[in-house]
Amino acid sequence: MRRRAVPRALALLAVGALLGVTAACGGGDDAGSTGGGPVTIRFDWWGNPDRAEVTEKAIDLFEQKNQNIKVETSYAEFNAYFQKLATQIAGGGAPDVLQMDYRYVREYADRGVLADLGSGASKVDTSGVTQQLLSGGTVKGKLYGIPPTQNTQVFSYDFAQWEKSGAAAPKDGWTWADLKAAAQKVSDSSGGKVRGIADLGGIEDWFEVWLRQQGKTLYSDDGTIAYTAADVARWWEMTDGMRRSGAATPAELTAKMDGSQANDPVTQKLASAGFGYDSGFTAKSWEIAGRELKLAPFPSDTGKLGQYAKPAMMFSISQASKQKEAAAKLVNFLINDLDAGKILGMSRGMPANAQVREAVGGTLTGPPQVGFQYEQTVGPKLEPAPPPPPKGAGTVKATFQRVYDDVIFQRTSIQQAADKFMSEAQKAITT
| 168 vs 183: CA distance, rounded Å | 9
Cβ closest to other proteins, residue 172 vs residue 252: 252
CA 321 from chain centre, in angstroms, equals 24
Q: How far is the CB of 238 from other proteins (least distance, A)?
A: 21
Which residue of 221, 262, 365, 380 would you call a contact of other proteins, by CB under 8 A?
262
Q: For residue 202, how many other CB atoms are within 10 A of its CB?
A: 21
With residue 16 as reference, give the H or E element that holds it.
helix 2-25
Cβ closest to other proteins, residue 80 vs residue 169: 80
Q: How far is the CB of 17 from other proteins (least distance, A)?
A: 7
Which residue of 2, 64, 172, 221 would you call a contact of other proteins, by CB under 8 A?
2
SS3 assignment, position 416: helix
- Residue 149's closest CA among 418, 413, 396, 368? 368
Which residue of 1, 25, 172, 193 would you call a contact of other proteins, by CB under 8 A?
25
163 binds other proteins (CB under 8 A): no
Q: How far is the CB of 50 from other proteins (least distance, A)?
A: 6
Angle at 295 between CA 293 and CA 301, to 5 degrees: 135
169 binds other proteins (CB under 8 A): no
- Residue 232's closest CA among 376, 417, 397? 417
- In the region spanning residues 207 to 246, those forming contacts with other proteins, defined by CB under 8 A, are none
103 binds other proteins (CB under 8 A): no
Cβ closest to other proteins, residue 20 vs residue 120: 20
Count of residues binding other proteins (CB under 8 A)? 87
156 binds other proteins (CB under 8 A): no
- In the region spanning residues 64 to 93, those forming contacts with other proteins, defined by CB under 8 A, are 72-80, 82-84, 86-93
418 binds other proteins (CB under 8 A): no
Long-range (24+ apart) CB contacts under 8 A made by 304-307 are 304/212, 304/213, 304/214, 304/215, 305/213, 305/378, 305/381, 305/382, 306/209, 306/210, 306/211, 306/212, 306/213, 306/383, 307/152, 307/153, 307/209, 307/212, 307/378, 307/381, 307/382, 307/383
| 141 vs 91: CA distance, rounded Å | 29
- Residue 382's closest CA among 212, 190, 147? 212
Which residue of 51, 216, 294, 342 would you call a contact of other proteins, by CB under 8 A?
51
Helices (H) and strands (E) counted in the chain, each on its own, are: 17, 12
125 binds other proteins (CB under 8 A): no
- In the region spanning residues 372 to 401, those forming contacts with other proteins, defined by CB under 8 A, are 391-392, 394-395, 398, 401
Residues 6+ away with beta carbon under 8 Å from 311: 102, 133, 136, 137, 145, 147, 149, 150, 352, 385
Cβ closest to other proteins, residue 160 vs residue 398: 398
Q: How far is the CB of 380 from other proteins (least distance, A)?
A: 27
From first CA to last CA, the distance across the chain in angstroms is 56
168 binds other proteins (CB under 8 A): no
Q: How far is the CB of 133 from other proteins (least distance, A)?
A: 18
The answer to whether 96 and 43 are in contact (CB under 8 A) is yes
Q: How far is the CB of 173 from other proteins (least distance, A)?
A: 31
256 binds other proteins (CB under 8 A): yes
Which residue of 32, 41, 46, 152 would you call a contact of other proteins, by CB under 8 A?
46
Q: How far is the CB of 209 from other proteins (least distance, A)?
A: 19
Q: Identify which range of 172-180, 211-219, 248-256, 322-330 contacts other proteins by CB under 8 A.
A: 248-256
Which residue of 119, 131, 261, 430 would you call a contact of other proteins, by CB under 8 A?
261
Q: How far is the CB of 177 from other proteins (least distance, A)?
A: 29
Cβ closest to other proteins, residue 99 vs residue 184: 99
- In the region spanning residues 282 to 341, those forming contacts with other proteins, defined by CB under 8 A, are 282-285, 287-290
- Residue 293's closest CA among 306, 278, 308, 303? 278
| 405 vs 198: CA distance, rounded Å | 14
Cβ closest to other proteins, residue 42 vs residue 180: 42
